[in-house]
Amino acid sequence: MEMKKIYFFIILSILFITGIQKGYSQLDSLEKSCASLIKYPFISDGQDYRALVLNGETAEFYYTFYGGAVYRIVACSSINGKPPVFRIYDSNRKLLFSSEYYNNPKYWDFKFTSTIEGIIEAELPPTDAPSGIIILLIGFK
């Protein structure tokens, strides 16, 4: 009986550690698949925007888009490889773009004719999971 308990706790410990490891490797592969969509001639802005969100909650990313530049926004989530829903608002909270209108693509390109302060809002795709990670990457050319 005593030995069974020992085995039980060994297995429990291994499962706990491998669970953490799996989380780490899932996030790494998510980062890689997201980054693969910032291809030349787009250049990464050098930052990694991440948020841990509850289901139904939104994350906000504040960003200045320079006039004359073309940006690529790549959006990824930890929910079964499905991209998050993302929207861009201006500083007055007027909607400029919503990925919902175009079946939630993984990326979208934007040309800004003038510099504007934007707010990128993102939420998890439809899921039963209580929470998930959203990653946004921004490239420009």
Is residue 110 part of the contact set for another protein (CB under 8 A)? yes
- Check residue 100 for interaction with another protein (CB under 8 A): no
Across the strands, what pairs with 50? 135
- Smallest separation (angstroms) from another protein to the CB of 80: 14
Q: Which of 75, 76, 78, 124 binds another protein (CB under 8 A)?
A: 78
80 binds another protein (CB under 8 A): no
CB 135 within 8 A of CB 106: no
Alpha-carbon Rg for the chain, nearest whole angstrom, is 19
Reading the block at residue 46, the tokens are 């050098």
Among 62, 81, 100, 126, binds another protein (CB under 8 A): 62
Query: Residue 81, interface with another protein (CB under 8 A)?
Result: no
* Residue 33 C-beta: closest distance to another protein, Å: 13
Give the Cα separation of 122 and 129 in Å (integer): 16
Question: Is residue 18 part of the contact set for another protein (CB under 8 A)?
Answer: no
- Please state, in angstroms and rounded to a whole number, the distance separating the CA atoms of residues 7 and 25: 26
Q: Check binding of 21 to another protein (CB under 8 A).
A: no
Q: Please report whether residue 114 would count as binding another protein according to CB under 8 A.
A: yes
Site for another protein in 42-61 (CB under 8 A): 43-54, 57-61
Determine phi and psi for 128, rounding to 5 degrees: -90, -10
The residue from 1, 41, 80, 128 that contacts another protein (CB under 8 A) is 41
Q: Tell me the C-alpha to C-alpha distance, in Å, between residue 32 and each of 12, 37, 38, 68, 90.
A: 30, 9, 10, 28, 29
Query: Does residue 66 interact with another protein by CB under 8 A?
Result: yes
